[in-house]
Amino acid sequence: MAKRANVKTAMDRVKLARDPKRPHIGDFIRLMCSDFEELHGDRLVNDDRALVGGFATIDDEKVLVLGHNKGATVEENMAANFGMVNPDGYRKAMRLAKLAEKFHVPVVTFVDTPGAYPGDTAEARGQAEAIAKSLEFFAGLKTPIVVVVTGEGGSGGALAIAVGDTVLMLENAVYSVISPEGCAGILWRDGAKAPEAAEALKITASDLLKLGAIDEIVKEPAGGAQKNHEAAAANVMKAVLKAIRSLKGLAIDDLLDRRYAKLRAMGNFFK
């Protein structure tokens, strides 16, 4: 236990970010929202349980909540495919976000996935197209979007619901182009070198803040969010409300220009 409180390496954070006791979307919704109505389905083929969405109230703000769902129990894990989204999930997210846009309701997304589902059915239904379309779609969505990376930000499967106006990240969350194990397997030719890869990839919240990939770090309670869900959710709630309230006042054109400028500056080396 004492070890947990003493987080040093990037791999320590990876372990914390993947801790099954860490608060999941269900916990955040329960602790942050006074009400929540889940809505189902992509209107095409399926209701993907790995990505949940619905309208909710946070304090006095009406929002659409979208987020990866890993599930809290083994049964839920299985039903939710461990938070690995199929194309249907991204298409559901877009459908609901379009509805939020129609009524000028801000969108809050919770990001926590090992990655988009790498399966044959996912390929057959167009995983690449669904992610690509999500990126284009959220970049142009005419309502504020606040993103919270709460656990694992697993590559394109995370990014598909992580394009927004304000990107928050929990202190011990990680966000990466590839898993440390995957990177180690390719560039070190040895999956066991994941700790080295995790360090080299710069995937912690403080690294990402320096690189300009996120806007703000949300503090976790001592030892990590898994120790105190209430305190973690309270910190997230405060940061989300602040972000929504500062974005709500912006004219839609300004909001979209600002969002585009933020994306446009990613990796901008002509500073």
Measured distance CA(244)–CA(214) in Å, rounded = 16
| Residues 42-81 as x/- pattern, contact with other proteins by CB under 8 A | ----------------------------------------
Residues 187, 203: contact at Cβ < 8 Å?
Answer: no
* Interface residue with other proteins, options 21, 245, 258, 264 (CB under 8 A): 264
* Interface residue with other proteins, options 54, 89, 156, 224 (CB under 8 A): 156
* Interface residue with other proteins, options 109, 113, 127, 226 (CB under 8 A): 127
Burial class, 249, CB count within 10 angstroms (exposed 0-12 / middle 13-18 / buried 19+) = exposed
> The tokens 């309670």 sit on which residue?
221
* Interface residue with other proteins, options 45, 78, 79, 118 (CB under 8 A): 118
Residue 227 is encoded by which pair of tokens?
A: 């120790």
φ/ψ of 250, rounded to 5, equals: -80, 140
Query: Which among 153, 166, 149, 74 has a CA at the least distance from the CA of 110?
Result: 149
Measured distance CA(40)–CA(31) in Å, rounded = 21
CB nearer to other proteins: pick between 84 and 232:
84
**169 lines the binding site for other proteins (CB under 8 A):** no
**29 lines the binding site for other proteins (CB under 8 A):** no
**11 lines the binding site for other proteins (CB under 8 A):** no
Q: Which stretch binds other proteins (CB under 8 A): 22-30, 51-59, 196-204, 231-239?
A: 196-204
Q: For the chain, first and last CA: distance in Å?
A: 43
CB nearer to other proteins: pick between 3 and 140:
140
Burial class, 179, CB count within 10 angstroms (exposed 0-12 / middle 13-18 / buried 19+) = buried
What residues make contact with other proteins under the rule CB under 8 A? 116-120, 122-129, 131-133, 135-137, 139-140, 155-156, 159, 163, 175-178, 183, 186-190, 193, 196-197, 200-203, 208, 211, 213, 259-260, 263-264, 266-269
